[in-house]
């Protein structure tokens, strides 16, 4: 289903209003290929609407999260990064050196975790996984300095 339709249906089914600001916050996230924190999201939204406030961005994010349209990830930091809900599950690898976030799509991991849970009589409803280490570029730079 189209994300715009999901946005409209999710808000209206709960009796909420699809305000211009909520739509803007959702569109900025949808258009971004980065995992934006609230401040970066605010800066990008402000380029499109100079009157939007940081408080409005935070309130919009809370509502969009509550309605299941946006998810928040910590990515090894003490503040959240946001993205729209993706159609297929994916996980995030954060480089400890440069901070780059790499999305990893792997059905094998989800299948394995589901099997582990089922073996213990558990029903898996969601997976939250933080993966960190060094990206290939930082590994090369590290190798270059040790030679």
Give the CA distances from residue 139 to residues 15, 45, 92, 98, 133, in Å, rounded to whole numbers and listed in that order.
50, 35, 18, 11, 9
pLDDT at position 146:
67
pLDDT at position 121:
96
Specify the pairing of strand 91-95 against strand 101-104. antiparallel
pLDDT at position 44:
96
- Statement: residue 56 has pLDDT above 70: yes
- Lowest mean per-residue pLDDT among 63-67, 75-79, 95-99: 75-79
Which is higher by pLDDT, 88 or 94?
A: 94
The pTM of the whole model exceeds 0.85: no
Going along the chain from its start, the domains and CATH numbers come out as 1-86 (1.10.10.10), 88-147 (3.30.1490.190)
- Statement: residue 125 has pLDDT above 60: yes
């Amino acid at each position: 289903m189209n994300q715009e339709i999901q946005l409209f249906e999710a808000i209206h089914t709960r009796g909420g209003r699809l305000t211009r600001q909520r739509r803007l916050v959702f569109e900025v996230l949808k258009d971004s290929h980065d995992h934006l924190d609230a401040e970066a999201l605010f800066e990008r939204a402000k380029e499109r609407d100079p009157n939007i406030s940081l408080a409005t961005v935070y309130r919009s994010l809370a509502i969009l999260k509550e309605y299941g349209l946006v998810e928040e990830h910590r990515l090894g930091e003490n503040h959240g990064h946001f993205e729209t809900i993706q159609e297929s599950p994916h996980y995030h690898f954060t480089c400890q050196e440069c901070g780059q976030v790499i999305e990893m799509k792997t059905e094998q991991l989800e299948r394995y975790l589901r099997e582990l849970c089922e073996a213990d009589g558990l029903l898996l409803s969601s997976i939250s996984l933080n993966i960190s280490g060094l990206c290939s570029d930082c590994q090369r730079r590290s190798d270059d300095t040790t030679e």
